[in-house]
Amino acid sequence: MDVYIQVAIAFIALAIFAKLSRWTNSFFPPFYILAGIVTGPYVLGLVTNQDVIGVFGEIGVVFLLLYLGYEFSLNTLIDRVQSIVNAGLIDFAVNFGIGFAIGQLLGLNLFYSIIMSGIIYMSSSGIITKTLIQLNAVNDPEGQVVMGIMVFEDLVMVVFLVVVATLSNANGDIAMGALGLDILVAVLFCAVILSIAKFKPSLIDKYLKTDSKEVFLLLFLALVLAVTALGMVLGVSEALGAFFLGMLLSESKSKKKVEATILKFRDIFGGVFFFYFGMNFTLEGIDLSPIILIAIIVIAALGKMISSLIIGKIEKGSLSKGAFIGFVTIPRGEFSLLIAGLVTTEVFNFEAFSIILILITAAISTIAFMLIELLCKKTELCLLKNVFHDD
């Protein structure tokens, strides 16, 4: 089928499932994933070009994280650095540790257990961003904690992905000097963006200055794609590069124009990111029994709840605050697939496992919020405050 027709079908499916999401008063991401499953190569076979849809999906996650960075701002990062480190370390210790234990229990060797640790540890920046936006909780205290955890996770992933990529290609001959250089380059890239945001934000205003809306859009899109592409070349994920660029753009004097532009691209391409996950879903290659698979996913979800309740306690918040953070951070996503894609082995199908993990944890988070909202409406027992808001 022609690529253009496939793209058209993809967006039609996204529109239909978005309406279903609103009709059921639930989160968009799982419905976008279902749209990909239904129209993808393993069900109806209407959308099969993974290369084209994948590029749209990458652009989608870039703008999701760009918006998150824009809302977070550099001053927030500086002001909350201690809180971010504390929350991030707890999240890492609990969930990375659980992932490693699961790998060992499955009989994986040290390297593959570390791969499993990364897959279990990383929450989905894309799904969480969309969830916070839909809950209108980006600027709430709980939302700020969640974003802080995401920043910490993304920074960990900069190091993790470089290390794993090096180890998987090393064939036992690891050049520690080259590994250290790769990590240093990635850190310096992020530091340069933050330095410009802090000391020379006027550079962005000069670059974007124009009286033409068309030229502004093209300048803006070129900036976003160029910075994130450069970051990828230097070993920084497009998600992390977009996040820091968003913080830089938040210091611009053209904030209203910038925000409106980010929102347009975010809403157009954001759904495709989740749609692409659905396209890749297949049960083939999973060697675990359904009971063991479900048990692992439940443990992964509980890990986020446990770490979040501890974080809520340390942040001097209520049980409700910790629970909110936990339910939001349960979904795994893009980084889990990225980590799985770095290794090719017959020992364990990490990619198929990651896709199932993403779908089920996204569903768990969505169902949890739906049940909490229903309980609040029916019994006035509101475990979480301000859960659902209009967009």
Higher-pLDDT residue of 187 and 188 is 188
Higher pLDDT, 183 or 108: 108
Question: What percent of the chain is predicted at pLDDT more than 70?
Answer: 87
Q: In this model, does residue 174 exceed pLDDT 60?
A: no
pTM (two decimals): 0.75
* The pLDDT of residue 184: 78
Rounded Cα distance between 249 and 260, Å, is 12
- Measured distance CA(359)–CA(208) in Å, rounded: 39
Do the beta carbons of residue 289 and residue 110 sit within 8 Å? no
One-letter amino acid at 226 equals A
**CATH number assigned to the domain with residue range 3-170+255-379, chosen from the 4 options 1.20.1530.20, 3.20.20.140, 3.90.1640.10, 3.30.70.80:** 1.20.1530.20
Q: Quick one: tokens of 316? A: 């001097």
Residue 389: which pLDDT band, with cuts at 50, 70 and 90? very low
The string over 119-156, giving b where at least 16 C-beta atoms fall within 10 Å of a residue's C-beta and e elsewhere, is bbbbbbbbbbbbbbbbbebbebebbbbbbbbbbbbbbb
d(CA 184, CA 159): 9
3-state secondary structure 249-279: HCCCCCHHHHHHHHHHHHHHHHHHHHHHHHH
Token pair belonging to 24? 């059921």
Calculate mean pLDDT across residues 318-346: 81
Q: How confident is residue 118, by pLDDT bands cut at 50, 70 and 90?
A: very high
